[in-house]
Amino acid sequence: MNKLFWKALKVAPVLFAASLFAASGASAQAVNDTLQQINNYQTQDQNDSLSQVTNVNQLRDVSPTDWAYEALRSLVDRYGCIAGFPNQTYRGSQALTRYEFAAGLNSCLNQIERLIASSEAVSQEDLDTINRLTQEFEAELATLGGRVDELESRTAILEDNQFSTTTKLNGEVIFTIADVFGDEVGNIDSVSDAQTTFSDRVRLNFDTSFYGEDRLRTRLEAGNFEQLDGDVTGTASTRLGHDAGGDNDIEVSDLHYRFPLNDRIRGWVGTAGLDLDDIFDVANPMLESSGSGALSRFSRRNPLLFRGTEGAGAGVNLELIEDKLGVNALYLANDANDPGNGEGLFNGSFSAGGQVVFSPFEALEVSATYVRNFQSGDDVDQAGDTVGLFEDIDNDVNTPDVLTEGFAAQPFGETDTTANKIGAGVTFDLNERMIIAGWGGFSDVTGLVDGNDNNLDGEIWTWGANVSFLDLGREGSKLSIAGGMLPKFISDDAVNENQNGLQEDRDTSYLVEALYSFPVNDNIAITPGAYVVFNPNHDEDNDNVYVGVIRTTFKF
């Protein structure tokens, strides 16, 4: 009996090593969702692939002082059925299940059978040990074989009927009920007459990978939202964070390619929908998503920094210190496809900038961002469409509407404008169930008047903060409270009493929001919430505007 025990002990390490290779299938529960389980099986196989060991000294975590060293060395030298992980480790102290042990035993038996078939020496004593182990784990080996056969059969069916060998389809559908409440903002006195709306947005993402670590995203999008902005509420501050109009007409809203250059550098290039928040870290993880984050447009991310000229161009993410320090950079233009004078990739409106992201420890992340921005006269919106009231002063549909409140949107009217934008963000995980985030931004803006001879200058400021409580009442739920100051323009050149002169924002406008995201299951979430805009368009003479929302998000 002692001999049997020690022989089994010699064989056990190799079985353990082999079992790790098969663990994703062997230790899995019964196949309930075939597609998901096979995907996990394939992913584990790619990430934890084992490589054959020809010398026990190849394993970095095995030393001659280890109690099993001689057993490992003997198995490598005599049978060659030891496998190590890609990082040259063996992980000999890791626990294993009986199914995993059976998988390893099966692998070693196959190797020894090959040795026997090739007439290489195998002692009778070893054969007796193997026979007894085979009998001991006969049931587990049979079960394992059945599971592998079933997976192979189902995989064959999926391969015969798959959509694509390189592309995955994922989708998101949003249903939103919304209403606004308030009185007069500017000369818009119909806020109280606004009706309850029921709208939708649909996104289909086709994510294609050509060699496993890259992604080509093609997004089809449609929606039928009527924006809650100046025509309805008197201010762009009331816009929803996920509105998409167009009478549900389908368009290609995103087309960009993300690819690794090496383990530390990732590149981006795109012709549509490549945005600042794709390449930069917006430091607002709980609220940045349009489908599961903030309900308002303002609370999703810093509008001064991350809602600018964007759409086509390139970017790069560089990881200097793993999980600690990274640098991001980009160049984007919104009319890159227009060959006209003053447009195109390099002669029209653009954003160019860099970002440093620092995480001194796992719970804290800090970022600093700089963006150099130019917007031609017909593209100017320095506030990311989060503030402003445009009115048809002359009652002429052929002339542009005039900005009469909320001057951060067009500080100098429809004039070519340059901006140097600086901002910072911070995210702090207090614990597993409470996350705090905040950001602030400043922009030095210049209006290029009369061929740059009479430039006008000013500043735009904004900030925001939020706190989220996770798993409150149900696992996967989220209660978030957010608030901040909407982009505000101030200037020494302003002449507020002159309606035709340069004006600055006289008062201060704030937005406060609360929402609760409740997951019905893994694919459906309902998010009721509300937000209020105080002193809309930075004018305390305006009445507050309230927005109530119920958003339902379906993911598949």
Query: Are 185 and 144 members of one domain?
Result: no
Please check whether residues 128 and 182 belong to one and the same domain: no
Residue-level pLDDT at 42? 43
Over residues 228-274, the pLDDT tens digits come to 998 899 999 999 999 998 899 999 999 999 999 999 999 999 999 99
Res 118: pLDDT: 63
Report the C-alpha gap between 249 and 247 in whole angstroms: 5
Mean pLDDT of 78-105: 72
Average pLDDT of 509-517?
A: 98
Find the mean pLDDT for residues 46-52. 50
Average pLDDT, stretch 38-61? 58
Residue 45, domain extent = 2-161
Amino acid at site 104: G
Q: How many Å is the maximal CA-CA distance in the chain? A: 104
| 326 and 364 assigned to the same domain | yes
Q: Which of 15-19, 363-367, 390-394 has the lowest mean pLDDT?
A: 15-19
Q: What is the mean pLDDT of residues 353-364?
A: 97
Secondary structure of residue 551 in the 3-state scheme = strand
459 confidence band (pLDDT: 50, 70, 90): very high
Query: What local confidence, expressed as pLDDT, does residue 440 receive?
Result: 98
Whole-angstrom distance, CA of residue 202 vs CA of residue 242: 10
Print the SS3 string covering 488-518: EEECCCCCCCCCCCCCCCCCCCEEEEEEEEE
Is 98 contained in some domain? yes
pLDDT at 36 over 70: no
- Cα–Cα dist 233/226, whole Å: 12
| Amino acid 135: pLDDT | 75
Question: Alpha helix (H) ranges present in 257-402?
Answer: 276-279, 303-306
Which pLDDT score, from 0 to 100, does residue 394 have?
67
Mean pLDDT of 545-550: 97
The DSSP annotation for 339-359 comes to -STT-TTTSS-EEEEEEEEEE
The pLDDT of residue 240: 98
Note the helical H segments in 326-413. none
Shared domain for 151 and 185, answered yes or no, is no
What residues contact 189, with CB distance under 8 A and at least 6 apart?
183
Buried b (16+ CB within 10 A) or exposed e, 348-368: bbbbbbbbbbebeeeeebebe
Using the structure block, give the residue that is written with the tokens 């997976």.
151
Same domain, 294 and 384: yes
Please check whether residues 131 and 183 belong to one and the same domain. no
Rounded to whole angstroms, the Cα distance separating 195 from 62 reads 72
Domain contains 534 = yes
Mean pLDDT along residues 342-353 = 95
Domain co-membership, 184 together with 53: no
Check which CATH number belongs to the domain holding 475 and give it. Answer: 2.40.160
* pLDDT on residue 126: 67
What is the total count of domains within the chain? 2
Residues 184 and 130 in one domain: no
Q: What is the pLDDT of residue 252?
A: 97
Question: Rounded CA gap, 538 and 383, in Å?
Answer: 13
- Domain membership of residue 537 (yes or no) is yes
Select the more confidently predicted residue: 168 or 59: 168
- Mean pLDDT for the chain overall: 84
Task: Give 90 or 118, the one with higher predicted confidence.
Answer: 90
Q: How many angstroms from the chain centroid is the CA of residue 326?
A: 16
pLDDT, residue 96, reads 72
Residues 524 and 452 occupy one common structural domain: yes
Query: What number of CA atoms fall less than 13 Å from residue 115's CA on the CB side?
Result: 18
**Domain annotation covers residue 260:** no
Give which of 466, 502, 72 is closest to 282, Cα–Cα: 466
Please tell me the distance from the alpha carbon of residue 304 to that of residue 287, in angstroms, as a whole number.
16
Q: Give the span between the Cα atoms of 252 and 322, in whole angstroms.
A: 35
**Structure-block tokens of residue 178:** 């919304």
331 and 360 in one domain?
A: yes
DSSP per-residue string spanning 4-21: HHHHHHHHHHHHHHHHHH
Of the ranges 19-33, 114-128, 130-144, 345-359, which is most confident?
A: 345-359
**Would you say residue 9 lies in a domain?**
yes
Q: From CA 401, how far away is CA 505, in angstroms rounded?
A: 19
Cβ-based neighbours of 293, under 8 Å, separated by 6 or more: 241, 284, 286, 287, 299, 300
* pLDDT at site 255: 98
CA angle 309, 310, 311 (to 5 degrees): 145
Task: Examine residue 198 and state whether it is found in any structural domain, yes or no.
Answer: no
Q: Domain for residue 315, yes or no?
A: yes
Type of residue found at 443: S
The answer to whether residue 27 scores a pLDDT higher than 60 is no
User: Residue 267: inside a domain, yes or no?
Assistant: no
Q: What is the pLDDT of residues 195-225, one digit of tens each?
A: 999 999 999 999 999 998 999 999 999 999 9
Q: 474 and 336 in one domain? A: yes
Mean pLDDT, rounded, for 482-509: 82
- Band the pLDDT of 308: cuts 50, 70, 90: very high
| Per-residue model confidence (pLDDT) at position 230 | 85
Same domain for 80 and 187?
no
